[in-house]
Homo-oligomer: A and B are copies of this chain.
Amino acid sequence: MEQQGDSLRHHCGVVGVHSANPDNIPEKLFYGLFALQHRGQESAGICYRKEIPEDGTGRFVTYKDLGMVSTVLSRYLEKPHPSTLGIGHVRYSTRGGNRLENAQPLAASCNKGSAAIAHNGNISNASALNARLSMDGSIFQSTSDTELILHMIARSRQPDFKSALIETLGELEGAFSMVMLHEDQLIAIRDPWGFRPLYIGFSDTITAVASETCALDMLKIRDFREVKPGEILYIDSSGVKSETFAPGTEPKRCVFELIYFARPDSLVFEESVHLTRKAMGAALAMDESAEADLVMPVPDSGNSAALGYAEQSGLPFEQGLTRNHYAGRSFILPTTSQRELAVRMKLHPVREVVRGKRIILVDDSLVRGTTSRILISLMREAGAKEVHLRLSAPEIKFPCYYGIDIPTRKELISNSLSPDGIAAHIGADSVKFLKIPRLMECLKDGEGYCYACFTGNYPVQPREV
């Protein structure tokens, strides 16, 4: 599902690090963000507290730019930047276009001190909050939700930062897994529904917070736990203090994190991403009716599910599509009509594997169907006898208000065509999606997830003005 222009966009990834003693925090943020690069490739940034040894104070330094972690932040590998805390962010544009103004972290000073924030998610009542703040005289220099939060804290009549923050969180609806800096404190927050993942981990020298455990692995942290939905953590030199700011809300985690967004070696929502995907693939196989010779993934998005499918079905697993790992974003194809070329540059069939075969081709999901159509034509060209496309996600039919950039309903192929119609359209012999009940069976707590993009049942109603 990863072809540019025909995919759901990863949204954002966040990381935060606190060290009791001054350490090279920007370097740690670099490595953490590097492991989260798959969550956002349009901009990268960090904000850290630069120690001022002269007077024992510090000030926040922010650096961010459009580009990949290794390009934007490699300057921080060159020499040490002593610091005790910092946060970092990678992003795709969701609300707010691909503009530097919207890159994060966002730092500002206000009547409650200096603060910085890095945010993964989408505030679903942002329009209403924006309207209220605007009426009261706030100015908006970006179109991101994140600026809202800082305004609300500054505006709050609460006497201090912490109580203003709690008050503000009480007014936010939607998805927010966040890390913040306030003076010498690192703060981690997860919305009451727990839409987006967030983990905290501990090593001998640092405490770190990150969207996925793969970032904690990079920092050699083996002792970690999930930040709970509705939990707020204050991390400073005195240790970690936990509070719950919204008791009683039922969790509604984003099932797409497990289906597609997260890295296979990560834990999110206390589930192994790889094993859950294998279970989804196996579940697909349970309802299979087609006769086939082999099972193949669309690499890498379909890898785990195809493996699960093969194990469940007993069919041979094959790697019949080669992925060119040099295919990235470093150049622009001259015209969009060259999409076929773009697919060909990234994925290519192994002729000797597919020739004459009846193939189960496993991918994670289907959005517009453009890439799949090209891919299947490449496989036909290479001699495939039958291609049965299997998706480890149900049919996507509805927009997301919690941070995933889903095309308009009209563009979603499952809103205009049935699975059989899709098969005809993309040239497959058959197309099947995972059923929602089957998907729920793959999860420890199937009820605790959001399936709104499949069902239209939104756990938090978006409020437009």
- A-side interface residues toward B, CB under 8 Å? 31, 34-35, 37-38, 62, 68-71, 74, 77-78, 101, 106-111, 134-141, 150-151, 154-156, 214, 217-218, 222, 263-265, 267, 272, 274-275, 300, 303-304, 307, 311, 316-319, 321-322, 324-328, 330-334, 341, 344-345, 348-353, 381
8 Å CB contact of A319 from B140, B264, B345 = B264
Chain B residues, Cβ within 8 Å of A140: 108-110
Distance, CA A35 to CA B344, complexed state (A): 9
Contacts of A101 in B (CB 8 A): 62
> Please, which residues of chain B bring their CB within 8 A of the CB of A217?
344, 348
CB distance from A117 to the nearest CB of B (A): 11
> How many angstroms between the C-alpha atoms of A350 and B275 in the bound complex?
9
Number of copies: 4
| Chain B CB within 10 Å, residue with most, of A101, A137, A353 | A137
Question: A111 contacts which chain B residues (CB < 8 A)?
Answer: 134-137
Specify which chain B residues have a CB less than 8 angstroms from the CB of A345 in the assembled complex.
Answer: 31, 34-35, 218
- Beyond A139-B109, A381-B222, whether A325 also contacts B344 by CB under 8 A is no
Determine the residue in chain B with the shortest Cβ distance to A137: B155
A322 CB → nearest B CB, Å: 4
| Given known A69-B326, A141-B108, contact A319–B307 (CB-CB < 8 A) | yes
Q: How far is the CB of A14 from chain B (nearest CB, A)?
A: 17
Across the interface, which residues of B come within 8 angstroms of A325, CB to CB? 300, 325
CA distance A155 to B344 in the complex (A): 44
Q: Which 4 A-B pairs have the closest CB atoms?
A: A74-B331, A137-B155, A265-B322, A272-B352
What is the bound-complex CA distance between A304 and B318, given in angstroms?
9
Of the candidates B69, B341, B350, B381, which one forms a contact with A264 in the assembled complex, judged by CB atoms under 8 Å apart?
A: B350
A150–B155 touching, CB < 8 Å? no
> Which of A74, A78, A319 is packed against the most chain B CB atoms within 10 Å?
A319
Q: Which residues of B contact A106 (CB under 8 A)?
A: 141
Enumerate chain B residues within 8 angstroms of A264, measured Cβ to Cβ: 319, 322, 350
Q: Measured between C-beta atoms, what is the minimum distance from A90 to chain B in Å?
A: 10
CB nearest neighbor in B for A219? B344
CB-nearest residue of chain B to A107: B141
Cα–Cα, bound, A304→B37 (Å): 27
In the complex, residue of chain B having the shortest beta-carbon distance to the beta carbon of A38 = B326
Complex Cα distance, B151 from A136, in Å, reads 11
What is the chain B residue whose CB lies nearest that of A311?
A: B316
* Inter-chain contacts of A381 with B (CB < 8 A): 222
Q: Which residue of B lies closest to A297 (CB)?
A: B319
Name the B residues within 8 Å of A322 (CB-CB): 214, 263-265, 274
* Cβ of A291 to closest chain B Cβ, rounded Å: 20
Nearest residue in B to A156 (C-beta to C-beta)?
Answer: B137
Q: CA A344 – CA B108 in complex, angstroms?
A: 35
- Please determine whether A74 and B110 come into contact, CB atoms closer than 8 angstroms: no
B110-A70 in contact (CB<8A): no
Which of B135, B137, B326 is the one whose CB lies under 8 Å from A68?
B326
**Contact across chains for B70 and A349 when beta carbons are under 8 A apart:** no
CA distance A318 to B330 in the complex (A): 32
A362 to chain B, nearest CB (A): 13
Please give the distance in Å from A13's CB to the nearest CB on chain B.
Answer: 12
Q: Is the CB of A77 within 8 A of B334?
A: yes
A305 to B89, CA, bound (A): 38
- A265 B141 Cβ-Cβ under 8 A: no
Complex contact B70–A330 (CB within 8 A): yes
Contact A275 B353 (CB under 8 A): yes
Q: How far is the CB of A360 from chain B (nearest CB, A)?
A: 16
The CA-CA distance from A218 to B332 in the complex, in Å, is 17
Beyond A107-B141, A350-B274, whether A303 also contacts B319 by CB under 8 A is yes
